A and B are shown apart, each in its own frame.
Chain A
Amino acid sequence: MMNELLDFILLREANTRYVVAGTVLLGLTAGMLGSFTVLRRRALLGDAIAHAVLPGVCLAFMFTGTKDPFILLVGALISGGLATFFMDVVQRNTKLPPDVVLALVLSVFFGIGIFLLTMIQQSGMAAQTGLDKFLFGQAASMMGRDVVLFGLIGGSVLFILFIFFNPLKLISFDPAFASSVGFHVFRYDALLTALLVAAITVGIQAVGVVLMAALLVTPAVAARYWTEDLRVMMWLAGAFGALSGWLGAFASYYIPGLPTGPCVVVATTFIFATSMFFAPERGVMARWLRHRQTGRRIMRENVLKTLYQLHEEVPEKQLFTLHDISEKRFFVPQELALCLRRLVKEGYVRQAERGYLFQQKGWEEAIRITRLHRLWEVYLAEHLAFPDDHVHADAEAMEHMITPELEEKLRQTLNHPLHDPHASPIPYNNSASTST
């Protein structure tokens, strides 16, 4: 195992080099191109074209009797091109929605492809063995000549992507505007489709027609989680694609007979799942953490405000028990206990033997949140003509969102009111603490 792994990683055998070069190149090309097709909302188009190249491959084989990759590629190109042409014609002349057209062309072409494939397998033609590899891919079967051919095609696809980066970006973001400044959106869509056909044609031997779409869509979607910049997204998608390709090739090399396609899919899916959960900002975890943080902050602000109100009712009272707090406002007991523990830890309040005392930090925060609540109530009542008895609920939510800038505007607009609509005083002075 170790030796084989090293052999593979160090690319000791010529065949390994071809296989790795081929699949990495394919992953890179598909990932980068996929960034555009995903953003242009053409993700399914790749899947449809991938399935649609199969009959072309089969027919090319039946007519020539060889498995020369160049000839099979020509067949794939023609078949993929025909499929896109059909999609376009059907789309223009019927009222069918685009997804129906895609599904139709995909299944019809693929069905014909499987039919032809079965015919070939039963014909007993000498060279027929191995053609079924085109279904799920077999990277290990790639030869040096294939890699050179793929390299040429993949390289051209990337070159064209870079040349037309600006227009492709523009038509992906805002096609109507693109066409208003004189870009022919239809032509660029056709270009994107042509690049798709080319990339898929390269991919059929390595990952197969059935799963090729995974390499076009998944790396791009995974990359989107990590960045807000299209260029970075492209490179990242390319890297994810290349990595998946490499892993797929390795699996296929290590376990002879294992098709590459499914391995590549497993690898991309793993990268995608990791991205979805762990990416900063957009990832599920990050969102969940942010959500929890906001929840904790709101809870903290509510507890501090409640303490302030208790103090307001009986000014000489400095020490508040759990019982006092729950009397004043309902909190889930466990949550309240947890929150108070955090407040103590973060220095908002101090725990004494028989209750809790304000610390300076907590006092200031309590005043701030009470002030925001009451300022907002005044604003609702005075400027939006809310009845006085309806302002509280809205202020309960807004007090947690008002920024310092907005507070300043509120204060100026309202001319520093002294009382809220329920006649409670609005506290302005942060420093006047009763705490010791």
Chain B
Amino acid sequence: MIVSDARRSEGQTIALEVHDLTVAYRDKPVIWGVDFALPERQLAAIVGPNGAGKSTLLKTIMGLITAASGQVRVYDQPLEAVRKEVAYVPQRESVDWDFPTNVLDVVMMGRYGQMGLFSRPGKADREAAMSALEKVGMAEFAKRQISQLSGGQQQRIFLARALAQEARLYLMDEPFAGVDAATEAAILELLQSLRAEGRTVLVVHHDLQTVADYFDYVLMINMRLIADGRMEETFTTENLQKTYGGRLNLLSEVAHLATRHSHILQAEKKPE
């Protein structure tokens, strides 16, 4: 609360505000008292070890999982009031890609929220879907059956569907997981252009090697929020150790990171 108020006084609009969010699966808490305020126009990453509740946090923000307690506000309004401003990209593996439909149909699903229940997609919807497909470089795949897509192409289709929603806040669950290098670069470029358009993107990210390069804001969680803020101030060895605990294999990754991103560590050492 204090943090977000302070930021607001700096004149930054807050895109997503989460207050004291607690989620439990049958009495077992998975997220505990998470509290943060994400300023708009950021590329933000959620990092944390497996089972830290990263995906659960996104799903709870979207209302897919009911929180035990806490509150979520998007652009200072309850989610229901601004649902059309928020786009969610689930994990690619969460659906059956052998479903009988084609690429354009899936992207068109991004328009369902805007279209209303009973209407058929109109010209504007089709154009939005096609332009989204172009942005992810998949326009010539519009009529392709989704069962024929590679993993990277599946991920691009999911992103295109989110783009077709024309939202202000994007929540993405591991968009970089299991894609080839070319797709990774294309996705990164896409995220950056979203930011340039003034949108806010919050991404669950698992690759510690690239977090600092790809994102400018970070939430570090391990059931509870360990740290959040601008990348250079927050993504520190100390916070990484707190987030990943005593896991040896990850600590070695951290050591590797410390050498690779020495510029960040130097920035941290500078007197405030």
Contacts and interface: CB of A to CB of B under 8 A. Distances in A.
Interface of A: 39, 95, 163-164, 166-167, 169-170, 172-174, 176-183, 224, 227-230, 233
Nearest to B80: A182
Contact of A181 (B26, B106, B112): B112
B161 A177 contact: yes
Nearest to A163: B118
Contacts of B100: 39, 224, 227-230, 233
Main secondary structure of the interface of B (DSSP, over half): mixed
B96 A173 contact: yes
A179 B63 contact: yes
B141 to A, nearest CB: 14
Contacts of B3: none
Nearest 3 pairs of A and B residues by beta carbon: A181-B113, A180-B88, A228-B145
A39 B80 CA distance: 29
Given A173-B109, A229-B101, 16 more contacts: A95-B26, A167-B117, A174-B94, A174-B95, A174-B109, A176-B59, A176-B64, A176-B90, A177-B90, A179-B62, A180-B62, A181-B112, A182-B83, A183-B112, A230-B100, A230-B101
A174 B64 contact: no
B153 interface: no
A176 B106 CA distance: 14
Contacts of B95: 173-174
B64 A180 contact: yes
Contacts of A179: 62-64
Nearest to A223: B100
Contacts of A183: 112
26 contacts: A163-B118, A166-B112, A166-B117, A169-B101, A170-B109, A172-B99, A173-B106, A173-B109, A176-B88, A177-B90, A178-B112, A179-B63, A179-B64, A180-B62, A180-B63, A180-B64, A180-B87, A181-B109, A181-B165, A182-B83, A182-B113, A224-B100, A228-B101, A229-B100, A229-B102, A230-B99
Interface in B115-131: 115, 117-118
A164 B165 CA distance: 20
Contacts of B83: 181-182
Q: Which of A174, A229, A230 has the most CB of B within 10 A?
A: A174
A232 to B, nearest CB: 8
B90 A174 contact: yes
Interface in B60-85: 62-64, 80, 83-84
A201 B113 CA distance: 34
Contacts of B94: 174, 176
Main secondary structure of the interface of A (DSSP, over half): helix
Contacts of B84: 182
B241 interface: no
Q: Which of A179, A180, A182, A183 has the most CB of B within 10 A?
A: A180
Interface residues of B, number: 31
Contact of A173 (B63, B80, B101): B101
Contacts of A180: 62-64, 86-88, 90
Given A166-B112, A174-B94, A181-B83, A228 B59 contact: no
Interface of B: 26, 59, 62-64, 80, 83-84, 86-88, 90, 94-96, 99-102, 106, 109-110, 112-113, 115, 117-118, 145, 147, 161, 165
B60 to A, nearest CB: 12
A227 B83 CA distance: 35
Contact of A167 (B86, B106, B112): B112
A420 to B, nearest CB: 25
Contacts of B88: 176-177, 180-181
B63 A228 contact: no
Given A39-B99, A228-B147, A170 B64 contact: no
A169 B108 CA distance: 12
Contacts of B96: 173
Given A167-B117, A177-B90, A180-B64, A228 B102 contact: yes
Contacts of B117: 164, 166-167
A95 B115 CA distance: 38
A167 B111 CA distance: 12
A176 B112 CA distance: 14
A177 B26 CA distance: 24
Nearest to A41: B96
B109 A177 contact: yes
Contacts of B106: 173
Contacts of A167: 112, 117
Nearest to A229: B100
B175 to A, nearest CB: 14
A166 B108 CA distance: 10
A166 B106 CA distance: 11
A39 B109 CA distance: 17
Nearest to B111: A181
A280 to B, nearest CB: 13
A95 B94 CA distance: 22
B28 to A, nearest CB: 12
A248 B258 CA distance: 73
A172 B112 CA distance: 14
Contacts of B59: 176
A227 B95 CA distance: 19
A166 B120 CA distance: 9
Contacts of A233: 100
Contacts of B86: 180
Contacts of B102: 228-229
A411 to B, nearest CB: 18
Nearest to A233: B100
B179 to A, nearest CB: 18
Contacts of A174: 90, 94-95, 109
B196 to A, nearest CB: 24
A309 B62 CA distance: 62
Contacts of A224: 100
A233 B145 CA distance: 14
